[in-house]
Every structure is written in structure tokens, then in C-alpha cells.
Structure 1
Amino acid sequence: MHIPKGYRFAAAQAGFKKVGKYDLGAIVSDVPAVAAGVFTTNKFKAAPVLQCREMLADGRKMSGFLVNSGQANACTGDQGRANCRETLNMVARALGVPADELLPASTGVIGAQFDLSKWEAAMPALVKSLETGTAELVARAIMTTDTVHKLAHASFEMPSGEVRLLGMCKGAGMISPNMATMLSFILCDADISTEAWQTMLADCVNLTINRITVDGDMSTNDCVMALANGASGVAIESEDDYVTLRKHLLAVLEELAYKIVMDAEGGTKVAFIQVSGARSDGDAEKVARAVGNSPLVKTALFGSDPNWGRIICAAGYSGAEFNPDDLVLKIGGILVFRNGTPEPGDMDGLLKPIMKERDIVIHINVGDGPGSSLLLASDLSRDYVSINADYRS
């Protein structure tokens, strides 16, 4: 794995989750790094989200991330904000990093206050782990209902040297833009300005993490944060430099987005819902989201049932403006519907093998307009209901 230069990792078992599970992690940059972040639009923003937004507002450099799973520290009021700041102070003292240069993130059950005694007890293990800790350990520490840890990396050569990118995330349920119950951390060793890094991150997140859905729910804690510490000695200065870095950052986020949907709670399928020919990108997105969030479409995917009528129905109520006679539907490249009627032939027989695949491409063209959108959606299974019914038990 291509680990960017100048970063160290630590993880500990603090007891926020079940005994024997890593649930506290830290990533430390050897030098203060340019920082950027994109956060949930939920009105009920968790304490760490509010803290990070404040810290990033003045554009100062940051030295790392602090993340816990098991407790979201959301809907916890002033006490939750105070607890968030105290955990930063506690970890800062232990790791030798300024508290105002650590960006916090939390995930887990909403409403419970932190047990600060558990944080204090975990400090020796966290400090020790910083000597030998790995990115994989931190990726495991941020998991909740995830079944696998999620990492993606990239490296590329510039005239002045190699640049490396590493991304990690957690997320399997309560997934729908603007973002989801997901935390994502991006590390880079290029030298880039704060403004360019923030613009690049927001742009790439909008094309990837904000284009996935599992269940249509949006969390209180979602965040994607990124550091660029310049340890590679490679400066991103020209437009070509920017385009090259953006291409690789986009690829890392695309891989993470796919892994979230692939690991959806109880999920067995990933639908690539492609919409084209809309009057605008906004209308195309309406169609894609209506299809991707439809329980009827999602359960048909789970059952490998080529019930294409559910897709047409969802497109029709999406709120997008288009002529129904213009809609053309293809599933797995097979023409299914056009001119207001289904294509002749044994459609169920043709689609049956496609519907059994893990990845299924659904292409919906609604006209000859310039608007397009891509959404990755999971199916909806019996296990999803069981997982969320038993989440706190």
C-alpha cells in the first residue's frame, strides 16, 4: 500500500463498543498539514462536526485526526461539545500534538454522552500504538456495522517526485447524500494551498461520496476530511499539477464510495444508475435518486427480479421534467423499454443472468438534453431490517 510520507497511525480498544474491538483511532502528521473538509447538511450536526467546522473556518493547518466509533456524540448539547473538546485535550497531551490541530470525528449511537474515564484509560495503549500502528488498524477502529474495513490508495509521478494518496472510510447503513453515516479521511503528501485543496475535495466528494445511497437516510456525523502535509516535496502549482492530483483523488474517492455500497447493511448488489438526456443535471439526479431510493426497485434487485416496471414508475414520480415517450431503459446493456412500451421478446429470460450479478448497470435516457447523473445504490434485503432492528441490542 502506498502510504503518504509523514503520517503515523494509532488505534486502541477503549470499550466504546464490544470488548476486544478497536474503537479509538488517531492519525498524526509529522508536520502541520493543509486541511479541508466536507460535512453533513443535517440540521442536527454532531459535536465533532460543529468542532471541525469551527477549526477549519480560519484556514489554519492541522496535525491530525482523532476518531472514535461506538458513540456518535450527537444530540448531546453543550455537554457533548465540552466532552469533545476534553477528548481533544486528553489525546493532545498524550500524543504531543496541539489540541487545536486535531480534527475530531465520531460515529455510533446518537444521544449518549462520552464516558471520559474510558478515554483516559485508553491513552497509554493509544500512545504505544503510535509507534507501530497501521492505517488498517485505524480503518478497523472506525467500523460500526461495516463487515470489512475500507481503504484505497494511489501514487503518481510528477517531475519533482512521487505523490501518494491514502483514503479510508466507514459506512454501511444510514447512507444517502448529502453524505451519509460515513466518516472518511484522506491523506496526501503533496504541497498544495488550502483554497485549492478545499475546492478539489468538495468537487470530488460531490461526484463520488455524494452519489451513493443505501437506505435514503442522512446522518448527523458525516464528514470527509483531508490533509496534505507536503512531505513529498512536490508542490501543486500549475493547472496541470492540479488536474493530475484531482484525477487521483477522484479515483480514491470513487473506490471508497463503491466499497461503501458494496458493504451496505445486508446488501448483495450494487446498481450503477446512469441517467442521461435530461434537461439539466439536477433533473437527471432526481431520476437517479428516485430509482436508487425506491424500496420496490431495491427489493427487486435483492430478489434478482427483472421487474423493470418499478424503475419506470420511480422515474415517473421523480419530479424531473421529461416526455414519457422519450424514456429509454436499458439494464445490463439490454434494451428493455422505449417509445412508451416494452421491447418484444422474452425479457425475463434475457435479464435473468444479469440480475444475478453483483454489479448491475441501469441506464435511463429521458431525452436529448445535456443533463446527466450517476448514482450507486444498494439493494434492500431481509438482513438490512434485522441489522437495524437489533442495532442497539
Structure 2
Amino acid sequence: MPVDLKPPVAEDLHPIAGLRIGVTEAGVRKAQRKDLTVFLLEEGASVAGVFTQNRFCAAPVQVCREHLASGHPVRAMVVNTGNANAGTGADGLVRARATCIALARLLEVSPEQVLPFSTGVIMEPLPNDRIAAALPAALADAQPAHWARAAEGIMTTDTVPKASSVRTTIGGVPVHATGISKGAGMIRPNMATMLGFLATDACIAPELLQPLVRELADASFNRITIDGDTSTNDSFVLVATHKAGNASITSLDSPEGQALKAALMQVAQTLAQAIVRDGEGATKFITVRVEGGRTEAECRQVAYAIAHSPLVKTAFYASDPNLGRILAAVGYAGIDDLDQGTIDLFLDDVHVAVNGGRNPAYREEDGQRVMKQSEITVRVALGRGSAVQTVWTCDFSHDYVTINADYRS
């Protein structure tokens, strides 16, 4: 069961003017499940994206990068679940491009104006013939309000669809932001086995979208980890349709730029945290906050060491306050000149360690009380400076092994 995560309510998700979504069943891997989604963008929309840093990246990732670099305005995105089209060599590229060609023909645009995305099983040929055959049904289904259907249509081992939406005012004009994501395992920053699609109707200078999507990713999807594995297919895309009617934002540092960024960040972080809450077999949502570092980089380094540790994660699953495991992770995080005598450790309001040793006032029953909660904050104070960073993770349960052992069956 996901940790304090409920399915989205379709009526709460704001349609984005200039964007329609269609979802259908293509039988990519399993019959009678929504597994093909198309996003249709009106002329004039702007798109930017960030992708996995895994060098063994999937064919659709390679094609997306090529099409975005071509400079052609994006008019459509096509997403299939059930098959990742990764580890498929030159044939995988041919099949990803064939999908783009098939959709482009139906829309009467060029193939470079279509971005493909895939998620699912690796090293199996993409059944692009089934996808092409189902595209007309997806187009016929396209509606502005189909965000909740799309959230369901991109799921793999997710147990709950993930979507979020906000409305704000910029320059006196209503502006909307809505997004969906998928991901539950093979999750590690840079980015995660995730797909994320975030759209806004705000008017914003197109050249601002790429730095904006990078900043959003770095503070959301690049701050989550479930199992430390970096996927082959990670993609996070930001779309601006420019339909809201606000005066065009020309600087992210302006009050209008900051307001838009805050709205988009709220959606992105909600989606990222939803992935952790729905982590494969997760029973607890854990915030790891490292403060007092000399740099943000070393704070992240320590936070990830804690969040990736199987020993730490299994202790949280068992509600076992074996908290020396956290201190050990801090110690092997790779900070060569770390002084253990300045380190404090907290579990929520419980002060566990002070100056590198057990707090004389700490009682194990207090630690266990916190560890039994479904949401827990681990706070480490390094005592080296003023930098702070936060990472979100979950525990490891028996179900994580079961899910991943059975995934291909």
C-alpha cells in the first residue's frame, strides 16, 4: 500500500489550454489495460526536457534528444507503458522513429515534431505495429481534461496514479499548472525510472524553459531515491502553451518568473514525493535532511548515503532503532575531513546523538516510537557550515523483493 497517497481526483486537475490528451489500449504487453497515451499540443507551444544520465539510455530517450535538438516545434508526445524499448540496439531506434512517423502522418506534421516515451520491460522489441494501430483511438479520445486518465495510462508497477495541479495568478491573470508522473522502483536521482509530464498555460519566453525544467528537476525528481538504481528511460518534460494571456515572462528572477516557478515547483515536488510514497513495497516515507555542511554537494552526498543504505532502510521497515547504521552511512559518505565529533542526529523531535556519540538523554523507546510512524524525518547536523539539502526516500520491505522477482512474469 502506498504511504499516505490517494489517487488523484479528475475534477481537481486543471485542463491546460492548448493541450489535449488521449488514452487507449494498445496491448503493448498486457490486454485490457490503458497503455498508450498521446499529448497533442497546439501550434506555438514550447517544450523542454531533461533525461536519464544512464549511458545505456533507451531508444526513445535518444530520439527525444535528437528531436528537441532539431529545433522543430513539438506538436505531440506519445507514451507507451509495458515495454521500455531499452537495450534494443539499432532496431529499437528504428521502432521508436517508426512510432513518431506513424503519429506524424495522422497529425500531418513532421516526425521531428513528435517526442516518443516508453517505460516497462527492458530488452524486448517494441511492438510498434500495435502502437501504430491504436493511435487513431488515442487521437479520438483526446480531451483537455484527461489528465487523470493519462496518469493511469503511464503506470507500470505503480499502485496509484500520480497527478497534481495548481492555479495561481500572475500579473492579475489566472495561470494553471498540471502534471503527472509514474515510477515506483529503479528509482535513483539522475533521474529515476520515471516519466514526468508538467504543463502550464503561462506565457513565458521559450528560451527560459530549459533552465527552468532543469531547476525544477534538481529540486524534485533529483531528490528522490527508492533503491539507488538509475534507469534507462527517465524523462521529465515541461510544456508551456502560452495560452493564459499574461504578459510574457522574460526573466525567471522577476516577480512573475518567481511566481510561476513556485507554482511549477509545487507540482513537481508533489509528483516526486508521490513516487517515493508509492515505492515498491514501501511502508514508510522518509525525509532525510542534512544541514551544517560546507557545501550543498556534500550535504547531498551524506543524504544519499543514508537514503541508499539497505541496512538503514530495512531498519526503518522493522521499526528497529538500530541508529548506528545512520551514523555509519554518514561516515562512509566520502567526506574525507569529516569530524565525527561535531555530528548530531535527530529522528523527528528525538535527539539521538550529540557530538558524534549517543545523547545521554536518548531512550530507545523514543526512537522506536518515531520509527513506527508512517512518515519520519531524519536530520543530521554536520557542524561544518551553513549548507542544507533534503532527499526523500522510503523503507525496504519483503514486498520490494517479491515485486522485482516477479516483474517479468
TM above 0.5, yes or no, is yes
Residue of structure 1 equivalent to 2:90: 78
Quick check: 1:4 aligned with 2:24? no
Quick check: 1:118 aligned with 2:134? no
TM-score of the superposition, structure 1-length normalised?
A: 0.96
Residue of structure 1 equivalent to 2:276: 261
Residue of structure 1 equivalent to 2:249: 236
Matches within 5 A, 1:44-83: 44-83=56-95
Q: Choose which of 343, 346, 349 in structure 2 pairs with 1:330.
A: 346
**For residues 265-285 of structure 1, what are the alpha-carbon distances to aligned partners after superposition, in whole Å with 9 as ceiling and x for unaligned?**
000111100001112111111
Quick check: 1:138 aligned with 2:146? no
Report the AA paired with residue 395 of structure 2.
Answer: D
Quick check: 1:339 aligned with 2:355? yes
Residue of structure 1 equivalent to 2:383: 367
Matches within 5 A, 1:183-262: 183-234=195-246, 235-238=248-251, 239-262=254-277
Residue of structure 1 equivalent to 2:9: none
Residue of structure 2 equivalent to 1:87: 99
**Alignment partners' CA distance in 2, 1:133 and 1:196:** 26
**For residues 332-384 of structure 1, what are the alpha-carbon distances to aligned partners after superposition, in whole Å with 9 as ceiling and x for unaligned?**
12111012321124622112222121210000011131322111011001000
Using the TM superposition, name which of 132-141 and 1-10 deviates more.
Answer: 132-141
**Alignment partners' CA distance in 2, 1:339 and 1:240:** 42
Q: CA RMSD in A?
A: 1.5
Q: Percent identity?
A: 39
**Alignment partners' CA distance in 1, 2:145 and 2:353:** 53
**Alignment partners' CA distance in 2, 1:243 and 1:133:** 27
**Alignment partners' CA distance in 1, 2:330 and 2:169:** 44
Quick check: 1:380 aligned with 2:380? no
Residue of structure 1 equivalent to 2:3: none
Quick check: 1:99 aligned with 2:111? yes
SS at match of 1:230: coil
**Alignment partners' CA distance in 2, 1:340 and 1:125:** 62
Report the AA paired with residue 50 of structure 2.
Answer: V
Aligned length in residues: 393
**Alignment partners' CA distance in 2, 1:348 and 1:98:** 64
CA contact (8 A) 1:322 1:367 kept: no
Report the AA paired with residue 174 of structure 2.
Answer: E
**Alignment partners' CA distance in 1, 2:304 and 2:224:** 9
CA contact (8 A) 2:351 2:362 kept: no
CA contact (8 A) 2:72 2:112 kept: no
Quick check: 1:352 aligned with 2:368? yes
Report the AA paired with residue 291 of structure 2.
Answer: S
SS at match of 2:185: coil
Structure 1, unmatched stretches of 5+, are none
Quick check: 1:291 aligned with 2:306? yes
User: How far did 1:131 drift?
Assistant: 4.9
**For residues 6-45 of structure 1, what are the alpha-carbon distances to aligned partners after superposition, in whole Å with 9 as ceiling and x for unaligned?**
2111011111132211110011122231111011110111
**Alignment partners' CA distance in 2, 1:286 and 1:378:** 17
Q: Choose which of 48, 53, 58 in structure 2 pairs with 1:36.
A: 48
**Alignment partners' CA distance in 1, 2:235 and 2:44:** 20
Alpha carbons of structure 1 residues 376 and 149: separation in structure 2 relative to 1, 3 Å: same
**For residues 63-116 of structure 1, what are the alpha-carbon distances to aligned partners after superposition, in whole Å with 9 as ceiling and x for unaligned?**
231100011111211111111111111122234554322211100111111223
